[in-house]
Each structure stands twice: as structure tokens, then as C-alpha cells.
Structure 1
Amino acid sequence: MLISSKDLLLTARAGGFAIPHFNFWDEISARTHVAAAEQKHVPILLAWAQKHEADISIDEALNLGKFYGAQAKVPIVLHLDHGFSPDLVKYGVNHGFTSVMIDASAEKFDKNVAMTKDVVDYAHQRGVVVEAEIGHVGTGLSEDDANQYTEVEAAVEFVKRTQVDSLAVSIGTSHGVYKSAKTPHLNFERLSELRKAVPIPLVLHGGSSSGDDNLNKAARLGITKVNIYTDLANAALHEAQAQKYASVLKMIEAEQDAIKSLDEHYIDVFDTVKLNQVETATALGAL
């Protein structure tokens, strides 16, 4: 079933766990993410990012997401990830995404506020929740790079002015592949400060290869959603290459097994509660 992310993230915030956010880039990955969620009996965010539109268009992603999400035996949030264009994000709002992200984090603070508020006003009128980002999560960071940690006062002001539903914060993770083989150092002190000061769910981008202990601790300290893409894509690619002399069917099966195994691993890392526990929390008024 397709649902909004609002109640899920609020429940995760109250319970000290995180909901998995798995990006899909084709039919195989979309179907496999849903299968993993059903196997583990947990809700997930099934996400398409604007940067993947050269490989899979927004309309193709909507068709796949709505099809697999609607028939799923567990709640599925169909999420538009890293929408840099407000027009594209609004298109997503109108055509079936149940959650969207407007990413103006590379802009100056006031422009980020203005772009985000515009999308929030538009989406809320249509019953869709919005994620935004403040404090830019880098790309391929090494340990020596100066990551732009999210400032607490700026985050509080941003939420107040935009009325956004969830906020992606920067505490030391990176998009893509890390340049260093070392597990990144995460600023848990900053995360704790943000959790106390910011009244909405916090989310973490760049979860891939950021360390299981790091991610588990982040979930316990206030991260309600963790984005995973690079590890999944690399695992699928590795298996496909390993099966290059096998049949197409064997190649697809190998990709599915690799993706599903990682999905289930990260669900365990995030301490994502099983569906009946989410329903119980909701019934008890944890939202």
C-alpha cells in the first residue's frame, strides 16, 4: 500500500529507530526493494532521484513505484529524492509521489528558504509531505575534507520559516563513494543538538559505506530515515559483471539477491521495527 511518510517518521522519531530509504533505478531494483520490505515486514521509502532521469524518467519511475507500492503487503512511501527543480518536484506532487524532497541546499540560506517554502505551500495544499536539506552533504568526501555541518540555529530558523516536514542534515556522511577507505567520522554531538532543537524528523543522506555502528547510533540519537543508494547499485553491478557469461535470467537473479541481501542488512542496522509494532505505536498515540 502507498502511504505518506509523515506518520512513519514521527513514529521512528519517538521510537529511536530509522526507516530505510532505498533508491531504485530500474524495474529490478524497485521490485526487489519491495520484496525485501515484505520479507522483513517493515515499511520503507521507495525513492527515485532527479539525477537518475537520464536512465529512468520521472514518468517511468512513477509507473513502477505506484505499481509495486500499491500491491505491496507493507506500507510503501513513494518518494522523490533530491529534486533540484521546483517545477519537477511539483509535477511529482501532482502525479503520485506521496513524499518529495526539494533540494536547494547548494543555494544561499534565504534562497533555500524561499524555494523550499514555495514547494511546501504547494505540496501541503495537495496532501504531500516535503523534505528539504540544510548544511550540504558532500560528494566522495575524504577524511580531510571540510564537510559543511548543519548549524543548529540555522536549522531551527529554516524549519520555522518553511514549515517543512523533515530535514536532511549534514553530520559527516557523503554521497557516492568515499575517497578514503576509512569509515567516516560522524558528528554525533551535533546530531544530538539538532535532535533537541529541531521539532521535526531528521534524515541522513549518504548512508552507503558510512559504517553500521555509525548508522545504528545515528538512528538511536534522532535520525529517522537513512538514504541508501551507492552500496546497492555497486552490489548489483558487481553481481551482473560476475554473471557476464551466464544467461540473462541468472544475471537478474544475481542482481536481485545482492540488492535484497543489502536491503535486509540495512533494515537490521537501522533497528526498523516490524509493521505490527508501528501499528501499535500509532494506536497508542505515539504520533
Structure 2
Amino acid sequence: MLYTMNDLLCVAKKNQFAVPAFNIGSFEILRSVIDAATETNSPVILEIHPDEIAYLTDVFIESVKQAAYEAPIPVVIHLDHGADLYDVLRAIRNGYTSVMIDSSKNAYQENIEVTKKVVEIAHALNVSVEAELGTIGAMNYADEGVDNVTYTDPDQAQDFVQKTGIDTLAIAIGTAHGLYPKNFTPKLNLPLLAELNKRLDIPLVLHGGSGNPDDEVTKSVSLGICKVNISSDVKSAFFTECQRFFRENPDQYEPNMIFSSCIQEAKKVIHHKFDILNTLGKASLY
């Protein structure tokens, strides 16, 4: 069943659970996500970054849409980190039901203007819009810390939501994109999240959801996070198993033989994410 993000997350916010948004960079990962969501009766977001669709091409979206239509659970097809109007319009033409415009690195007023324009276009076509305020960091492996984080300011967030009319807001509370080093433990700014949740009445989004402590992620859901972006954890499990398979089967070349166990390992991670986000079984609420 294909849903808009707005319809999906309104239910999540009301019932205090979050829906994971998994980046689907291949058909095998798409299958892993859909199978795991169906097995657990859990709503899910299929998320595609512009770099991923540049590799997969628009033809791949036909498979994504068919999988969403046929799934017995609610599914959203979402553009992850659209950089400009080209990315957004490409996603809408391809049938996505939600888009993210990320103008957070620009000046505040420009972020408002760009986001407002996207909202005008997308809402006219019943497509939901996510934006970002503050900046989600990237791991600085030299210093073993999170680099370039600008935390979301509550006053600014309130003004931004009011002026743009967005449906969901990605907030910066201390996460980073990618996997964290083994000796680094990230720390979410939960008091800031609580303040943002008090000020805003729309669903909040947590980017960089791979590698954070489970208890902190679960706590964030109780404080207003309704969508969590997950990419690296699933891909890492998938390709770690792929590497193991080739070490033990160096002469194998049949995709159905190679990827079967990789899908199973990815599904273990996906099941776990549904569990910590309180998503398990929540498809029954739709």
C-alpha cells in the first residue's frame, strides 16, 4: 500500500512510534526491506538518495513502486537529501510520495525560500515535504568525533515550520552520517529534542540513525522522533556477509546463490530497527 509521508507519520506521532527509512541502493536491499516489513507487519519508508538513483537509473523506480503497491503494509517512497529543484522534480515525476529538500547548508533565508517553493509544488501534487534545519555532521575519523554539527535552534525551527509549511523536519541533535568508529560512542542531545518536540507540532526526523546506542534511539522516539534514516547499518551487514561468502566460495557467480544469505543478514538488522523504534506490528493501525 502506497502512502504519503504525511499520512504515514501522523499515525506514528499519535501512537509514539517511529518508522525507519531504509536507503535502498540495490534490488537486493529493496527486497530485504520489503520482506522484513511484511514479515513483521510493520510500516516502512523506502528511501533513495540522488546518488543512488543516478546509479540505479529511473527504471529501478518501477520495481520500487510495484513492490510498494503489492506490499500488504504501508509504504512510502521518499527522496533522501534532494539538493535542488531538479532532484525534487525528478522524484515527483518518478512517482515518489515524499521528497526531502535539503537547503540547510545555505543561509537561513535562502533555506526558507527554496523549501517554500518545493512545498508549493509538492503539495499541489499530494507529495509530502521534509526539510532540514541545522546540519547533520559527518564523522571526522582523525579526531574520532562528529564534524560540522550545527544544532537545530528551537526558535528558528518554530519560525521555519510556520513560514515553509513543511510536513516533517530533520533536526540536528548530534548524529552523523555513516558508521561510527568502534571506540567512539555518539551522544544525542535529548534535552534539545524534548524542547523541539514541545515547540513543533509536526513529526520530527532523525538522520544518521546507524550506530547510535539503542536505548538513546528508543528514547528519542518517546520525545517526538517519528522517522529515523538508516543506511550504513543495513548495507554493512549485507556486504560483510557478501565478503564472507566469496571467501568461502571464490568460484561462485550465480546471483541467487551469492545474495541469498546477504539478504538474510540485512533482514536481521532491519528486524532489530523495527524493534527499537517500536514499529513492530504497527501496520495494523492503518
TM bucket normalised to smaller: over 0.9
In structure 2, distance between residues paired with 1:144 and 1:94:
36
In structure 2, distance between residues paired with 1:65 and 1:276:
19
Indicate conservation of the 8 Å contact 2:136/2:149, yes or no.
yes
How far is 1:146 from its partner? 5.8
- Residue 117 of structure 2 is matched in structure 1 by 118
How far is 1:51 from its partner? 2.5
- Residue 133 of structure 2 is matched in structure 1 by 134
SS in 2 for 1:149: coil
Letter paired with 1:268: D
1:55–1:276 Cα change, 3 Å: closer
- Residue 265 of structure 2 is matched in structure 1 by 258
- Residue 216 of structure 2 is matched in structure 1 by 214
- Map 1:56-67; keep pairs closer than 5 Å: 56-57=56-57, 59-67=58-66
Using structure 1 for the length normalisation, give the TM-score. Answer: 0.92
Q: Which ranges in structure 1 are unaligned for 5 or more consecutive residues?
A: 280-287
In structure 1, distance between residues paired with 2:283 and 2:265:
27
Indicate conservation of the 8 Å contact 2:139/2:146, yes or no.
no
In structure 2, distance between residues paired with 1:92 and 1:67:
16
- Residue 284 of structure 1 is matched in structure 2 by none
Cα offsets for 1:203-225 (capped at 9, x unmatched)? 00000001111110111111000
Structure 1 residue runs of 4 or more that deviate by more than 3 Å after TM superposition: 141-146
Letter paired with 1:202: L
Indicate conservation of the 8 Å contact 2:29/2:266, yes or no.
yes
How far is 1:7 from its partner? 2.1
In structure 1, distance between residues paired with 2:13 and 2:206:
13
In structure 2, distance between residues paired with 1:51 and 1:213:
31
How far is 1:21 from its partner? 0.7
Q: Which ranges in structure 2 are unaligned for 5 or more consecutive residues?
A: none
Indicate conservation of the 8 Å contact 1:17/1:273, yes or no.
no
Cα offsets for 1:91-124 (capped at 9, x unmatched)? 2113200111111111111111111111110000
Equivalent pairs, count: 278
Say what the alpha-carbon RMSD is for the aligned residues.
1.5
Indicate conservation of the 8 Å contact 1:48/1:81, yes or no.
yes
- Residue 282 of structure 1 is matched in structure 2 by none
1:123–1:232 Cα change, 3 Å: same
In structure 1, distance between residues paired with 2:60 and 2:197:
33
Indicate conservation of the 8 Å contact 1:74/1:275, yes or no.
no
Identity of aligned residues (%): 36
1:61–1:218 Cα change, 3 Å: farther
